[in-house]
Amino acid sequence: MADKLIIVESPAKANTIKKFLGGSTKVVASMGHIRDLPKSKIGVDIEHDFEPEYINIRGKGNLIKSLKKYAKAAKKVYLATDPDREGEAIAWHLAHILEIPEDSVCRVTFNEITKETVQESIKKPRKIDMNLTNAQQARRVLDRIVGYKISPLLWKKVKPGLSAGRVQSVAVKLIVDRENEIRNFIPEEYWNIYAKLLDEKSKKEFEARFYGKDGKKQELHKKEEVDEILNNIKDGKYIVTNVKTGEKKRTPAPPFTTSTMQQEASRKLGFTLKKTMSVAQGLYEGVKIPEKGSVGLITYMRTDSTRISEEARAAAKEQIINTYGSSYYENRYYKTSKEAQDAHEGIRPTYIYLTPESIKESLTTDQYKLYKLIYNRFIASQMTAAIYDTINVDIDVNKYNFKASGQNLKFKGFMTLYIEGNDENSTEDEETSIPALEEKQEVKQISLTPKQSFTEPPARYTEASLVKELEARGIGRPSTYSPTITTILERRYIEKEKKQLVPTELGEVVNKLLIDNFSDVVNEEFTAKIESEFDSVAEGKEEWKQILRDFYPKFENELEKVDKELEHVELKEEVSDVPCDKCGRMMVVKMSRYGKFLACPGYPECKNVKPFVITIEVPCPVCGGKVQVRKTKRGKNFYICENNPKSCNYISWNKPKPGEKWSPEEIKNTETKKTKRKKTTKKKTSKK
């Protein structure tokens, strides 16, 4: 008989916690939720004040029996599910199933899974926080109503199997809106003039850019304007009129939040949001380290706070001073946004002395990459600023003004360890050197280059930039970004082209239907307002069912109206140029969960289907046949000859170039590499 029973969500977390507690404590996993709304029906009694109808999740009967048995045998039960709203709700459901009174002091949470934190938390249990639980219920019930009421309309009017969701529909709208901006974008011509100049004293060359005339900025839009300026300065002298030197500081970024971690892992590591959260979950729950056992390496990974504990701050100070010297340390505090829930710290390593290199052998490749990113970001957040020497120079030639600027890194500070990425590949902090010039001195023109450019449309969203946009608009919360984007990708409302998110035809049709008929569901301001109301419930300032009472009447009226008005809406299928080889009809492009395929429009009389094949214009470098673009299971493109494997063995990761020819030797080398790869894979598999 165990003195204590601790229930957590995952086996990995259970294994890590077990070793911190005595032998009379049993630690088991609930494997996530054990009760939820039924899948077969809406599961919300709208007529009786939106009462949710929870049921035990199918397939968890034996687990529930075991949990009841363990709880009955224990003197005390602690519910130690994750420290967020979702975890609080799981604890509440567990209490219901195990018949633990609602006011029982049984709830414990771990922001980090370390021996000290676990042992201290067990000593300070609390009651289940019904405000947090009700905030989760409000989100779950509202999203269930939206999904289960709108989705059948989409099945009936557009296409079977479709679905709508509150946050996912807004995310699709943002992507479609951006695509429309790109389509409707009209490029505008503009010009720059660059002067390559020489300082004859130092013999150094540098570049200056045209600014304007008589000190007033002038934008150039036509070649005629440029030609006039070039003509007026062709014989002029370049005189330095102003030299301004200074110092610029660049400060480090704060510790990671969920959003910034997802963005940086996408930019720097190429991780999808889903992969980032999966790897982070493993680091949080525990990794086996030699002579230490299972160790939780990072704090809880669902947070929108940048706050860090004083203990972590002190550990970072010691690490920085010992590694880099006291001149690299600065005690920094970061402001957390007003919208942040601030229940947890920012994401940081739990043990500062466990550097990424010291435990590299214990981590998978992905774990090492993400842990190093989190570790370095946190340490850098407590380091001094980087310092640049700057110089800005004004140069006049016949009343026309040119400007040159340069900067040199004088002190690296935090940049010794970590530099934050960005989506625009900005070069603002790159070093640019210009000579030490003096006022009134003349510099010599080496060349004068006019450059024509055109304004560019806004970039498509990537997973990282979409998360940034959702967060900026107050749409969703740390726990929702990854599942939202994963869902709209899986449902084929959007697809990835390289790293960019592009709406599919299906996504655009569904988006238009929702905008025209359910303005609130895809309205960014409304969705952000609902999120803030969920926050109010979590803070105990609002009753959770009041959100539903306010939302539903208008939504119900829209449903009734749409049901009558949408008889004419249907999704037009894309007709291909491939005839059906059974009945002669032109085949149409269909979408399955695995991607596009060709189907005969004569279904069910003719059930012929074919794979959807994309070809490129460049011929096969071996036989001259058509080259097809195919995808691996992970979605990576590769290129293969249409005659492979019958009469040609061309296959490559790289797109062939026009005029490219492959010799038999190159083909043989490729095959050898493939064989080696297969052997390596077999070895790894057998080792496992």
The residues annotated as belonging to the active site are 300
Angle between helices 481-490 and 166-184 (to 10 degrees): 70
Q: Percentage helix, strand, coil, to 5, in the chain?
A: 40, 25, 40
Select from 302, 392, 318 the least CA-distant residue to 351.
318
Dist. CA 575–CA 605, nearest whole Å: 18
The type of residue at 430 is E
Please report, in angstroms and rounded to a whole number, the separation of the first and last CA atoms in the chain.
36
Q: Quickly list DSSP for 496-515.
A: EETTEEEE-HHHHHHHHHHH
| Residue 473 CB-density burial (10 A; 0-12 exposed, 13-18 middle, 19+ buried) | middle
Structure tokens at 612: 């959807």
Of the candidates 198, 156, 221, 203, which has an alpha carbon nearest to the alpha carbon of residue 450? Answer: 221
Chain centroid to CA 403: 39
Angstrom distance (rounded) from CA 385 to CA 298: 25
Task: Tell me how far CA of residue 379 lies from CA of 30, 297, 331, 452, in angstroms.
Answer: 35, 15, 11, 44
- Rounded distance between C-alpha atoms, residue 346 and residue 478, angstroms: 12
Distance CA 422, CA 419 (A): 10
Q: Encode burial over 73-96: b for 16+ CB neighbours within 10 A, e otherwise.
A: ebebbbbbbbbbbbbbbbbbbbbe
Cα angle 121, 126, 128; round to 5: 120
- What distance in Å separates the CA atoms of residue 248 and residue 410, rounded to the nearest whole number? 10
CA–CA dist 384, 412 (Å, integer): 9
Nearest by Cα to 507 from 150, 183, 163, 184: 163
> In whole angstroms, what is the distance from residue 473 CA to residue 532 CA?
11
Reported as type and span, the H/E element at residue 519 is none
- Based on the number of CB atoms within 10 Å of its own CB, is 315 exposed (0-12), middle (13-18) or buried (19 or more)? buried
Q: In Å, how far from its chain's centre is CA 301?
A: 14
Give the closest residue to 225 by CA, choosing from 212, 237, 207. 212
Candidates 595, 422, 426, 425; CA nearest to 495 is 595
Q: By the 8 A CB rule, do 401 and 208 touch?
A: no
Contact indicator for 305, 343 with CB cutoff of 8 Å: yes
